[in-house]
Each structure stands twice: as structure tokens, then as C-alpha cells.
């Protein structure tokens, strides 16, 4: 998608109809890419927060922050190696290898993971914080 956006601004790039459709497609894919991870991360955070709350477990904010940083770094490294090695488990790989460097693709995935993990940590902290107030 990103490479298609680059072609949009070249001379003789396409018609007036092609440009908005490409931009809408890119926007839709980004919303799905970010939205699905946010919804699944939010559901997991609510379930985990409720479980921790029912057992009266207190989790510090620094632990949640360091856990999120570790998860983002692992996601970056995993994606970087998978793209570099052209791993078979990458579903729906394009037939032409992307020209974008693998660290850029890994950075996009890590940024999405960072957003998801920090939202999840916020949700867990809020749920546990409510349990601490009731005790």
C-alpha cells in the first residue's frame, strides 16, 4: 500500500478516479490493521484486569510499562527477522518483495504493537486501580 501511494505522485500516475480510491483503500486497511489489534488487545486487557482484580493482585505501573516496552521490542525483532528471511508463515505475501526496507516495515508493526500494549496497560491499571479504591 505504501509503495502504491508513492506511485500516486509520479507523472502520469493515473486518473482522477484512481487517486481517491487508492487513498480510501489505504485508509480502510490502516483502520482495520490498527482497529483489530486495538479491539483484541482491549478485550484481553479487560479480561486480564478483571482476573487480577478478582484475585486482588496489585501490578505496578512501572512493571506494566517495562512489559509493554519488552513486548514492542520483541515484536520489532520478530517482524524484522521474518521479513528478512522471507518467512513462509507471513500470510498473503506479495509476489514481488517490497522495496521498503525491512526495518521500516518492522517499525510500522512495532508502532502498532506499542499503541495496543500501552492502551492495554492503561485499561489494566484503571481496573486494578478501582479495586484498590474499594479495599
For the chain, 135 residues long, the average pLDDT of each consecutive 10-residue run is 63 61 79 88 91 85 87 89 74 62 84 90 84 57
User: How long, in residues, is the chain?
Assistant: 135
User: Which one-letter DSSP state was computed for residue 15?
Assistant: -
Residue 123 CB-half CA count within 13 A: 20
Does the reported pTM lie above 0.85? no
Q: What angle do CA 13, 31, 101 make, to 5 degrees?
A: 60
Amino acid at each position: 500500500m505504501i509503495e502504491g501511494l508513492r506511485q500516486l505522485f509520479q507523472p502520469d500516475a493515473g486518473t482522477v478516479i484512481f487517486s481517491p480510491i487508492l487513498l480510501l483503500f489505504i485508509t480502510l486497511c490502516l483502520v482495520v490493521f490498527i482497529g483489530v489489534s486495538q479491539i483484541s488487545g482491549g478485550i484481553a486487557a479487560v479480561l486480564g484486569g478483571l482476573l487480577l482484580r478478582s484475585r486482588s493482585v496489585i501490578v505496578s505501573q512501572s512493571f506494566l510499562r517495562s512489559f509493554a516496552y519488552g513486548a514492542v521490542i520483541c515484536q520489532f525483532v520478530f517482524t524484522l527477522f521474518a521479513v528478512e528471511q522471507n518467512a513462509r508463515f507471513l500470510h498473503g505475501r506479495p509476489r514481488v518483495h517490497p522495496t521498503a526496507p525491512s526495518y521500516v516495515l518492522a517499525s510500522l508493526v512495532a508502532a502498532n504493537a506499542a499503541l495496543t500494549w500501552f492502551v492495554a496497560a492503561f485499561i489494566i491499571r484503571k481496573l486494578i486501580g478501582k479495586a484498590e479504591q474499594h479495599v
